[in-house]
Amino acid sequence: MTMRRTVLFLIFFAAVIFACGSNDDASINGGGGDAGPDVVDGDGGFGDLDGGVPSACDPPGTSCTSGEKCCTGTCDPSSKKCTGGVGQCSVAGAACGNGTDCCSMRCEGGKCAAAACIQDSKACTTPESCCSGKCSGGVCQPLNPDPGSCKTAGNACSGAGDCCSKLCKGGVCQLNSSYCIQSGDACAHAEDCCGGICTKAAGAALGTCSAPTGATYCNGGVDGTVCEGEGCNACCSRLCAPYAPSGVNICQPANGCRVNGDLCRSDKDCCGAPGTGLPGEGNVTCDKEPGAAVGICRNPRSCNPEGNVCHFKDYVCSVSSARNDCCEHLGSKTNCELDPVGVPRCHAVGVDGGLPCRSTGQTCAFSGDCCNGAKCLPDASGTLRCAPPTTQCSQTGNACSVNADCCNGLTCNTPPGSVKGTCGATTTPDGGTGTCSLYGQSCKIASDCCNGVPCNNGFCINIVN
């Protein structure tokens, strides 16, 4: 059984590599020269899936009227600027709406300040100068007043355990341990939080992140949550691996549909969405509180649908704790395979003894469903469909569901719970632009991958213990 899974996995990767062709800098990183047919073009590059996909997205600080054209999906209503995006922090002098837009955590007069924000309990004269955005009685007030609480970004730390982000660098808690803000840390926008909720006091510039309650079949480890030291089974995706820009282990998002227990915005974001024609369709609901923007994918109707997490042994984790009842093979229970980033998933489409693979334009749950190693990408409506097999990667402004869908060095910006993302540049805390390959993106040698992630079968990914 283990040998069969390994062979199928390697065959899948070989198909992807064959479809991708050469991996030169022009086609991968969007550099000079003709990118050729192997990248998603400005209209989306989907043929029947064209329409509604922006040809380019705008970085934080750009003027906007809505979040549609912003790489982060967020347009601050007061500053009328694209804002948010933890991996997109702006350097001194750049336009900003709130402290979390800035690498310094300090936004004053609509511009990111060069000086670092003032830490909790230190003297202040304005709220904007404080890491917490709160200045009262001439002192910066903490966002988490409980002495036992974690410290928010910008405050002093002696180790990772002091910080809500679990990233202490240079004696200061950093915001960007992941592509989204951890629960308890400072936030200005719900879209920036891993859990999709930012709770702010009336009139406050900043609040703290949290997540919906009641996750199923996982320990609340929604996509982007730090899992350092807790292992894969802390994650809904059952994959704990490095976030490339920081090197911190996070719960990696699964390519394509959102798995059981993870965040969602509608039923169509979840594995088992109705109307897909895939095994287990309709076996899921996006469970949201009244008026909430995000909820949790729940599977109350028996078996696990195509693309959901499943029981798997001997991968980067010793074993996935997910249940073993994929819809298509309830008796034999043999169709649990690793997806392109190493998440164990129910996979009955396009495998030996399963259902036919999906052609260009047909619905899919994840890239493993598509013929000839093609990618499974969201169309303009957010429905996942197979792209042409010649689509190597998505350039800036084009469709993605995870970083692995984007050309090397680009981040997939998705609102929490949504499968509909847009590729954009990855900005480092010092204001530079990331050029190394993120988790799941292509590589030729190990040094192509960020922060020591190994290069396996042409991709920056861990596939063995």
Query: What is the pLDDT, as a whole number, of residue 52?
Result: 28
More reliable by pLDDT, 124 or 32: 124
For residue 285, tell me if it sits in a domain: yes
Which of 356, 360, 358 lies closest to 328 in space, CA to CA?
356
Categorize the per-residue pLDDT at 302 as very low, low, confident or very high, splitting at 50, 70 and 90. confident
Categorize the per-residue pLDDT at 121 as very low, low, confident or very high, splitting at 50, 70 and 90. very high
Residue 265 has pLDDT above 70, yes or no: yes
Percentage of the chain surpassing pLDDT 70? 77
Categorize the per-residue pLDDT at 19 as very low, low, confident or very high, splitting at 50, 70 and 90. very low
Query: What is the pLDDT, as a whole number, of residue 49?
Result: 39
Whether residues 456 and 312 share a domain: the answer is yes
For residue 239, tell me if it sits in a domain: yes
Beta strands in 246-386 (DSSP E): 249-251, 263-264, 285-287, 295-298, 336-338, 344-346, 376-378, 384-386
| Sign of the C-alpha dihedral computed for residues 433, 45, 252 and 216 taken in this order | positive
For residue 253, tell me if it sits in a domain: yes
Whether residues 51 and 171 share a domain: the answer is no
Query: What is the pLDDT, as a whole number, of residue 150?
Result: 94
For residue 216, tell me if it sits in a domain: yes
For residue 390, tell me if it sits in a domain: yes
Whether residues 162 and 43 share a domain: the answer is no
Task: Tell me the residue range of the domain where 12 lies.
Answer: 1-73+211-465
What amino acid occupies position 166?
A: K
Whether residues 330 and 245 share a domain: the answer is yes
Residue 438 has pLDDT above 60, yes or no: yes
Whether residues 217 and 203 share a domain: the answer is no
Please answer whether residues 308 and 348 qualify as being in contact, where contact means their C-beta atoms are separated by less than 8 angstroms: no
Residue 405 has pLDDT above 50, yes or no: yes
For residue 79, tell me if it sits in a domain: no
Residue 135 has pLDDT above 50, yes or no: yes
Whether residues 230 and 345 share a domain: the answer is yes
pTM over 0.75: yes
Segment among 183-192, 320-329, 375-384 with least mean pLDDT: 320-329
Whether residues 43 and 192 share a domain: the answer is no
Residue 443 has pLDDT above 50, yes or no: yes
Whether residues 427 and 460 share a domain: the answer is yes
Query: What is the pLDDT, as a whole number, of residue 316?
Result: 80
What separation in angstroms does the CA of 372 have from each of 4, 35, 146, 391, 392? Answer: 19, 20, 54, 11, 12
Whether residues 89 and 45 share a domain: the answer is no
CB neighbourhood size of 311 (10 A):
17
Mean pLDDT of the chain: 79
Whether residues 277 and 138 share a domain: the answer is no
> What total of structural domains would you count in the chain?
2
Q: Which of 210, 238, 265 is the last residue of a domain?
A: 210
Q: If you count DSSP H runs as helices and E runs as strands, how many of each does the chain have, helices first?
A: 2, 27
Q: Which of 168, 192, 210 is the last residue of a domain?
A: 210
Query: What is the pLDDT, as a whole number, of residue 24?
Result: 31
Tokens of 134: 């709160």
Query: What is the pLDDT, as a whole number, of residue 60?
Result: 59
**What is the rounded average pLDDT of the residues 306-314?**
88
Whether residues 459 and 358 share a domain: the answer is yes
Q: Which of 210, 231, 246 is the last residue of a domain?
A: 210
More reliable by pLDDT, 391 or 399: 399
For residue 78, tell me if it sits in a domain: no
Segment among 57-71, 99-113, 148-162 with least mean pLDDT: 57-71
**Quick one: DSSP state of residue 330?**
T
Whether residues 327 and 450 share a domain: the answer is yes
**44-81 pLDDT, tens digit each:** 345 433 322 333 556 556 778 877 667 666 676 666 77
**190-247 pLDDT, tens digit each:** 888 999 999 999 889 899 999 887 656 687 789 999 997 777 888 999 998 888 778 8
Query: What is the pLDDT, as a whole number, of residue 392?
Result: 81
For residue 4, tell me if it sits in a domain: yes
More reliable by pLDDT, 353 or 306: 306
Distance CA 212, CA 292 (A): 9
Category of 50 on φ-ψ map: left (φ > 0), alpha (ψ -120 to 50) or beta = beta
Residue 179 has pLDDT above 50, yes or no: yes
